[in-house]
Structure 1
Amino acid sequence: MKVLHVITGLGIGGAEQQLHLLLRHLPAECEVVTLTNPGPVADALTADGVTVTHLGMTGNRDLTVLPRLTRLIRAGHYDIVHTHLYRAGVYGRVAARLARVRTIVATEHSLGVTQIEGRPLSRATRALYRRTERMGSATIAVSETVARRLTAWGVPAGRVHLAPNGIDPAAFRFSAPARVAARSRLGIPLHAYVVGGVGRQVKGKNFESLIRAVAAVPDTHLLLAGDGPEHVMLLRLVHQLGVADRVRFAQPAEEPSSDSPTVPELLAAMDLFVSPSPEESFGVAVIEALASGLPALYVACPALEDLPPHDAPGARRIEAYNLPTAVHEERLTGPRRLPVPAAVEHYAIARTAERVMAVYEAVLAAAAEPVTDAVTGTTATAEPGAAPAAVSVPEPSAPPAAAPQQQQATAPAEK
């Protein structure tokens, strides 16, 4: 099976990192096209042996990318074209149909109630989304919450399939040496209580409120992992509040290196994880934090809201206005590491890959089914340019049993 993944960009971001991780577990021959920004994730994919092509798109309305992408798809003889993120979904579906590919899958990573990929939703955005979605064979939702949002938009439920985001649980297992090394590299005192957040520094992530909350709790440090257009504004706020000595910013490395810690290493350096974003499509950063044994506070996390509360006892949903109080309460409890909860194994990347492969097999089978002419009663294989047939995806196998839980432990003694 030969699959072309089309994505808007390959900088550091949730969808981009999900694609990187997924391709390590998909039993298919995969190549990647990025419309723009071939950043660190492109380098990581290339290091894994994945062919990455950059089309050099200059903006949302750079229509010259369409014929180039169409030619690339036609020349590649792909069985499936799989798009990721809004812009790639629009251009990728159109190009795939022009290249006469009938098996087109899209993953919806970042659909909120009022925004998509951090940008406000408009009537035109919704209309273009729905129109191009009909060109595909199936749309994958990364959470049950996103699946409900898609059907509320008018996407037929039969076209929406659930394949939640996943993580590699073993990669996030807490390491005391990594904790010490990361703190030393970032200039964080070993004895400090560290609150952390991970994600793109954009307005919708609400990291401003997290900075203010930590500033209000004495003897508490903050570690923010990520980058984005709000970075300078967040730096300015830190200095305005006079807490520059208690706040550290870090750009996570995709792979272990001597220059910058990875996300697992940064999580090891933290004592409390906070996700202040009021609107999320999944909340993978919270699952990663739980895999590291961290207690977690979140304002919105569909990944956990779609599960029974006992699957993640170390995570607590809070209201955004209550963030300073919640951080203060956790500070009084002190640093601790918790058993890895069942929610982490539920979202193992191997299970995600299994679900995606089930969608691939279903759309290929549907495309190969003969079509019966209602007038003559004759059958024939559908033409490549015809509308895709509906697909039925079987239920995936039960998730793997949760790994034995580690014993609850306090953070290592520090001097």
Structure 2
Amino acid sequence: MSDAAAPTLVHVTTTDISLELLLGPQLEAFAAAGWNVIGASAPGEHVAALEARGIRHVPVEHLTRSMDPRADLRAARELYRLFKELKPDVVHTHNPKPGWLGRPAARAARVPAVVNTVHGLYAQPSDGRTLRTMVRVLERGAATCSHAELIQNPEDTATLARWGVPNERLFNLGNGIDLDRFDRREAMAGERRELREAWGVADDTPVVVTVGRLVAEKGFRELFEAHRRLRRSGSNHELVVVGPTEAGKADQLTDAEVSEATDDGVRLVGFSDRPERYYAAADVFVLASHREGFPRAAMEASAMGLPVIATRIRGCRQVVDDGVTGLLVPVKDAAGLESALRLLLNDPARRHTMGAAAAQRARDRFDQQYQIDLTLDTYRRLLPERAPS
């Protein structure tokens, strides 16, 4: 039952890593604002960190990132039973699959307020008609079960309106980060030296860093090819990849691809809950992704004063001011990545100027407090009698 003194708010994601790393500070802020906050996702190794924030976690065993109709049906039933048991005042869904399953389950369980955050529509204009049609049907259908759609990327707001989602439900949320955490490049000079010494890399050797899951959709094949070409032409840069492998995903990198990258000098450091250490050690950030909503890692790197090379796609366009804070290149284009990297690797002055502009853009546009305030305002508007003032 919901505590009369503290209305219950359930945030639903596919995995616990999203609750902790992407939403953790926001969940803490909602709890501080007077909500009884619960995170629901597939269980994993990040539950302990989430609970250390004071956020209760409940497992949804059948939520997976992969497309599995039988598991998805079980997950929908599991969510419905969970909402009936918890009787939350608000259910807030994230990511494509929890949104598709969780919004109808919440309405069926008679949850008073259903909110969804669109982190990035899963289909883009470059995708095939079948995928675009499927996503349109799923999003439009699930949106009939929500009371508010909070949309990170304004390009998606226009798309949803074209798909028939009522304008009064659509709110531009944007995306933000903890600027206090990712504004410490000078203060982390010691960690920069420590990491570079551990790698055997001199301070004047340019280091390129990227953050992401080791899947093809993140553009690693093109990035590794660009790195390989640069090395063969005599470049002495280092490429550091921060991110976990993604077993079970159809586009996961093969063992052979990972081994070849390692042989080419790519440093694969695995997952880190302190990516700021690697930003501090780097000189350039790159994001070669094929699909993004509003990429957090690119915002973090910008706030840390790194010029950002990214693909010219939705999301990256909102983070990078092309030619000012970084460079945008065509998607799936190893030669374009090679040219952009060569330009910045060979020009320390340009890196410094772009990095300073990137940090200023982050301070001006990427403060997560705006998202926290807008989300709390949405809850209060939907539940004027129950929401904490």
Amino acid at match of 1:21: P
1:121 shift after superposition: 2.5
Structure 1 residues 363, 121: CA separation in 2 closer, same or farther (over 3 Å shift)? farther
What residue number does 1:157 align with? Answer: 167
What residue number does 1:276 align with? Answer: 288
1:353 shift after superposition: 0.3
Q: Deviations over 1:309-349 (max 9, x none)?
A: 49x93222223432111111111113855332133342111
Structure 1: how far apart are the matches of 2:171 and 2:268? Answer: 37
Matched, 1:181 2:191: no
1:141 shift after superposition: 0.6
What residue number does 1:296 align with? Answer: 308
What residue number does 1:384 align with? Answer: none
What residue number does 1:398 align with? Answer: none
Structure 2: how far apart are the matches of 1:232 and 1:102? Answer: 39
Matched, 1:54 2:59: yes
Structure 1 residues 209, 307: CA separation in 2 closer, same or farther (over 3 Å shift)? closer
Contact 1:211 1:238 in 2 (8 A): no
1:39 shift after superposition: 2.8
What residue number does 2:219 align with? Answer: 206
Amino acid at match of 2:57: V
1:302 shift after superposition: 4.4
Structure 2: how far apart are the matches of 1:49 and 1:16? Answer: 11
Quick check: which one's helix share is greater? 2
1:137 shift after superposition: 0.5
Q: Deviations over 1:86-143 (max 9, x none)?
A: 2211221222122211310011113144399xxx825344323321210111111112
Matched, 1:233 2:253: yes
1:60 shift after superposition: 4.1
Structure 1: how far apart are the matches of 2:321 and 2:132? Answer: 34
Structure 1 residues 141, 228: CA separation in 2 closer, same or farther (over 3 Å shift)? farther
Q: Deviations over 1:48-76 (max 9, x none)?
A: 11100112116543334444433322332
What residue number does 1:146 align with? Answer: 156
Contact 1:106 1:138 in 2 (8 A): yes
Structure 2: how far apart are the matches of 1:90 and 1:308? Answer: 30
1:228 shift after superposition: 3.5
Matched, 1:31 2:38: yes
Q: How does 1:380-391 map to 2 (within 5 A)?
A: none
Contact 1:5 1:31 in 2 (8 A): yes
Amino acid at match of 2:328: R
Matched, 1:215 2:194: no
Structure 1 residues 39, 281: CA separation in 2 closer, same or farther (over 3 Å shift)? same
Matched, 1:246 2:265: yes
**TM-score, scaled to structure 2:** 0.80
Matched, 1:324 2:338: yes
SS in 2 for 1:7: strand
What residue number does 2:297 align with? Answer: 285
Structure 2: how far apart are the matches of 1:184 and 1:115? Answer: 45
Paired positions, count = 351
Unmatched 5+ residue regions in structure 1?
A: 255-261, 369-415
Structure 1: how far apart are the matches of 2:56 and 2:69? Answer: 24
Amino acid at match of 1:287: M
Structure 2: how far apart are the matches of 1:79 and 1:291? Answer: 35
Structure 2: how far apart are the matches of 1:124 and 1:308? Answer: 30
Relative contact order, CA 8 A, sep 6+: which one is greater? 1
Structure 2: how far apart are the matches of 1:348 and 1:137? Answer: 25
Q: How does 1:3-22 map to 2 (within 5 A)?
A: 3-11=9-17, 17-22=21-26
Decide which of 310, 313, 333 is 2:324's aligned counterpart: 313
Across the aligned residues of Structure 1 and Structure 2, the Cα RMSD in angstroms comes to 3.0
What residue number does 2:348 align with? Answer: 334
What residue number does 2:367 align with? Answer: 348
Matched, 1:357 2:368: no
SS in 1 for 2:16: coil
Structure 1 residues 41, 162: CA separation in 2 closer, same or farther (over 3 Å shift)? farther
Q: Deviations over 1:252-271 (max 9, x none)?
A: 332xxxxxxx1101111211
Contact 2:209 2:285 in 1 (8 A): yes
Structure 1 residues 291, 210: CA separation in 2 closer, same or farther (over 3 Å shift)? same
Contact 2:206 2:283 in 1 (8 A): yes
Structure 2: how far apart are the matches of 1:282 and 1:232? Answer: 22
Decide which of 68, 74, 80 is 1:70's aligned counterpart: 80
Identity %: 26
Contact 1:138 1:160 in 2 (8 A): yes
SS in 2 for 1:214: helix
1:299 shift after superposition: 1.2
Structure 1 residues 332, 67: CA separation in 2 closer, same or farther (over 3 Å shift)? closer
Amino acid at match of 1:98: A
SS in 1 for 2:62: coil
Contact 1:166 1:351 in 2 (8 A): yes
Structure 2: how far apart are the matches of 1:193 and 1:353? Answer: 36
Structure 1: how far apart are the matches of 2:277 and 2:319? Answer: 27
Structure 1 residues 153, 361: CA separation in 2 closer, same or farther (over 3 Å shift)? same
| Between 152-161 and 227-236, the greater mean CA deviation after superposition | 227-236
Unmatched 5+ residue regions in structure 2?
A: 1-6
